[in-house]
Amino acid sequence: MNSTRSNIVILTGAGVSAESGVATFRGAGGLWEGHLIEDVASPEGFARDPALVQKFYNLRRAALRTVEPNAAHRAIARLQREYQRGRVTLVTQNVDDLHERSGSPQVIHVHGELLKIRCTRCHAVHHWTEDITPNLACASCQTAGRLRPDIVWFGEMPYHMDAIYDELAAAQVFIAIGTSGKVYPAAGFVIEAARCGARTIECNLEPSDVSSVFDEHRIGPAGVIAPALVDQLLRV
């Protein structure tokens, strides 16, 4: 790495929050906290059993109060604040708020956020830290019973794709941390970044499904690998 101008895009996944005690998606025999992913993360699953899905996300939202950012979140936030040679754009697939709580000044949530709820009638999105109850009314249109988590489920359109592809095209360095590379379009960001000329670095406990596309691999826990990489990027 030399000292010329160099924009960085970081993509994070569930592995970055694992050391904070947030369950990854594919860590327990394909189950997410005991559920098939398609039962709790698809519009069809929600239509089949809305109470189950609301309860599932209510528990995930409440669990955020019991976890704290770890060394990987803090290192990424430090890089965003201290890096002088270009932009550091953080894109996360995670729906938790640990990047924000560790001090990241900018976070793009490509799969939505647990602390936001969306009205399926008027489409307004509001910050929300409590349970979604059956009669909860939308703060914008006052309609009761039409709120859902503002989470991107399978089959739905991920958020902020135009902005992300602009940043990938302008990046000289692309770093993926703690993601299995199984879910597109995020899994394909490395391909786009490489096509546009970025140097690509994967940081994960194990090689991901798109590992072969990366120029460089750092295998290990995010809480160790990310701070070391950030130290190196800030030193140059």
Task: Provide the binding-site residues for ligand APR, judged by CB under 6 A.
Answer: 13-15, 18-19, 24-27, 37, 41, 93, 111, 178-180, 182-183, 204-206, 208, 221-222
Supply the minimum distance, in Å, between the C-beta of residue 94 and ligand APR.
Answer: 7
Nearer to ligand APR, 14 or 147 (CB): 14
Nearer to ligand APR, 96 or 138 (CB): 96
Cα separation, 14 vs 180, in Å, equals 9
* Residue 99 falls in the annotated catalytic set: no
Supply the minimum distance, in Å, between the C-beta of residue 102 and ligand APR.
Answer: 15
Nearer to ligand APR, 115 or 138 (CB): 115
Residue 148, helix vs strand vs coil = strand
> Long-range contacts of range 160-163, CB-CB < 8 Å, 24 or more positions apart?
160/91, 160/108, 160/109, 160/110, 161/110, 161/185, 163/108
Supply the minimum distance, in Å, between the C-beta of residue 183 and ligand APR.
Answer: 4
Nearer to ligand APR, 95 or 138 (CB): 95
Query: Which of the residues 111, 123, 160, 217 is marked catalytic?
Result: 111
Cα separation, 232 vs 1, in Å, equals 9
Phi-psi region of 34 (alpha: psi -120 to 50; beta: other; left: phi over 0): left
The contacts of residue 149 (CB under 8 Å, 6+ apart) are: 54, 57, 61, 112, 114, 116, 117, 118, 132
The token duo for 216 is: 């460089």
Active-site residue numbers? 111
